[in-house]
Amino acid sequence: MHTAAAAPVNLVPVGRALLSVSDKTGLLDLARALAARGVELISTGGTAQTLRTAGLAVRDVAEVTGFPEMMDGRVKTLHPMVHGGLLALRDDDEHLVAMAAHGIEPIDLLVVNLYPFEQTVARGASYADCIENIDIGGPAMIRAASKNHKFVNVITDPQDYDALLGEMKAHDGATTYAFRQKLALTAYSRTAAYDAAVSAWMAGAIKEDTPRRRAFAGQLAQSLRYGENPHQKAAFYTDGTQRPGVATAQQWQGKELSYNNINDTDAAFELVAEFDPAEGPACAIIKHANPCGVARGATLTEAYGRAYDCDRTSAFGGIIALNQPLDEATAREITGIFTEVVIAPGASPEARAVFAAKKNLRLLTTDRLPDPQAKGLAWKQVAGGFLVQDRDNGFLRMEDLKVVTKRQPTEAELRDLLFAWTVAKHVKSNAIIYVKDGATVGVGAGQMSRVDSTRIAARKSQDMAEALGIAAPLTHGSVVASDAFFPFADGLITAAEAGATAIIQPGGSMRDDEVIAAADERGLAMVFTGMRHFRH
């Protein structure tokens, strides 16, 4: 191992640049600006041709190395003339002697962006095509230039071109050590993300569910004012999957989303996406990552109103998600209370005009809903590591339900049971959901005891009955979903006392027989799903 030489030199002039990019956005402007400063340009393949066509003088890498590109371009920059020019320490006499002996010229600037591997995977390319789009020479050069940031600048993203040119203008064609350090950090992050994408794809391609090493990567989308609380620093990163939602949405108005806004908006949109827009409008209102109201309706306005009527108190300052494009009438209803964010797969110009008067309300639109049945991974940090699991894409149909009581559920009850079960999937455990006529009428979330969730949801319905001026809580004649089995009959009995007529739950308790007997005794219908939806 070679020992470090002198302390870093601050200003280093850029005299020679190697440009080799697959994404040619901004390339010509950069190359022209470099050439105007007298920087010698070296390039490869298509990049060199683009520069020549634009009238720029450029040397081929093959001329520098003395070897032609070969093996369909797989081998072109993997050569000592390239890597020596990137790695040589210009303040080390031994390095300088080696460069002179072998005719190696220093490279002061490397501009590389990698083969579009992530995009290739995203378009569903074949295994062979994905393999061909794994860049080898690019990452090798990037890592070499980054290691030698004491002297070398490395650019991996077109969005850094202007910063480079600005730096060179400010320092008469040179760059500062601090600037090169930042470029190196960005470059190492890029190669790390690239390798993470390759390893994640290969694990899926060969069906390796638990690879020995697991890597996740993201690209900064937004620096946040703070995290869950003001004393916590935070940022929002995208993972490149392009799943419709908060990461891909267009924001039409309002201030930047906060950490909690992003978290809650994601929860709301993932929930409302469970309801096929072809089967009618649906609305979900989220507060602190839990739904406080979910409903279908003949119109979006009706769906919103019914969701709002589940828990008007909690809906204040909440997040609203719709499964159909926002229309003017619904927009006017939503502006009746303070709302943080509205997200929908589109919004009419008239709806946007209504919201324009509410400067603090954020409106987000996407081009479509996320697929609730799509595969994917979810991960969570724990001390010393992280847990990884499949995204909960569990889905039930009528034929999947097993009736375990003497009384069969009615058709109306079955529809509501499936609706309640769908909502329960998105409620923090222990979760209890009362539903009537396609709308939640009571939500109990996040309690340590399932019976407590059952009581809380029923009590919320009582409170809303008083607020709405109706004689009895809407839990009378409702159905109930439980995200996991009832360990005792007490939760079911509490639901029956609140007026529920049918229950949906996974089953599987040691006391299932007792719970079934309690349902039969009270004339309830109950179905088992054989599936659990814990959400912690």
Residue range 378-407, pLDDT digits in tens? 989 899 998 989 899 999 999 999 999 999
Mean pLDDT of all residues in 121-138: 90
pLDDT of amino acid 74: 59
pLDDT at 17 over 60: yes
pLDDT of amino acid 130: 93
Q: Which of 135-139, 149-153, 311-315 has the lowest mean pLDDT?
A: 135-139
Is the distance from CB of 376 to CB of 243 less than 8 angstroms?
A: yes
Q: How far apart are alpha carbons 79 and 203 in whole angstroms?
A: 31
Which of the residues 24, 79, 147, 182 is marked catalytic? 147
For the chain, the distance separating the N- and C-terminal CA atoms, rounded to the nearest angstrom, is: 49
Q: How far apart are alpha carbons 214 and 200 in whole angstroms?
A: 8
Which helix (H) or strand (E) segment holds residue 200: the answer is: helix 177-205
The rounded Cα 340 to chain-centroid distance in angstroms is 20
Query: Annotated catalytic, 147?
Result: yes
Number of Cβ within 10 Å of residue 299's Cβ equals 14
Give 132's Cβ-side CA count (13 Å radius). Answer: 9
pLDDT of amino acid 239: 87
Unique residue bearing structure tokens 């409008």: 281
- pTM (two decimals): 0.85
Average pLDDT, the chain: 92
**How does pLDDT run across 241-295, given as a tens digit for each residue?**
889 999 999 999 999 999 999 999 999 999 999 999 999 999 999 999 999 999 9
pLDDT of amino acid 19: 94
pLDDT of amino acid 497: 95
Domains detected in the chain: 11-206 (3.40.50.1380), 244-365 (3.40.140.20), 398-528 (3.40.140.20)
The model's confidence at residue 83, banded by pLDDT at 50, 70 and 90, is confident
Partnered with residue 402 across adjacent β-strands are: 528
Q: How far apart are alpha carbons 401 and 182 in whole angstroms?
A: 57
pLDDT at 425 over 60: yes
Q: How far apart are alpha carbons 384 and 363 in whole angstroms?
A: 38
The model's confidence at residue 324, banded by pLDDT at 50, 70 and 90, is very high
pLDDT of amino acid 343: 98
Query: Annotated catalytic, 2?
Result: no
Over pLDDT 90: what percentage of the chain? Answer: 76
| Sign, CA torsion 116/119/121/127 | negative
Q: What is the 3-state secondary structure (H, E, C) of 86-142?
A: HHCCCCCHHHHHHHHHHCCCCCCEEEEECCCHHHHHHCCCCHHHHHHCCCCHHHHHH
Is the distance from CB of 249 to CB of 259 less than 8 angstroms?
A: no
pLDDT at 82 over 90: no
Q: Are strands 525-528 and 59-60 parallel, antiparallel or unpaired?
A: unpaired
pLDDT of amino acid 44: 85
Q: How far apart are alpha carbons 515 and 528 in whole angstroms?
A: 12
pLDDT at 312 over 60: yes
Q: How far apart are alpha carbons 97 and 95 in whole angstroms?
A: 5
Q: How far apart are alpha carbons 296 and 196 in whole angstroms?
A: 41
Residue 453 has which token pair? 């969730």
pLDDT of amino acid 95: 86
The model's confidence at residue 178, banded by pLDDT at 50, 70 and 90, is very high
Q: φ, ψ for residue 332 (rounded to 5)?
A: -65, -40
Which of the residues 182, 288, 358, 476 is marked catalytic? 288
pLDDT of amino acid 123: 87
pLDDT at 28 over 90: yes
pLDDT at 8 over 70: no
pLDDT at 5 over 90: no
Give 395 or 69, the one with higher predicted confidence: 395
Give 74 or 346, the one with higher predicted confidence: 346
Mean pLDDT of all residues in 341-368: 96
Cα separation values, 231 from 94, 180, 502, Å: 50, 31, 46
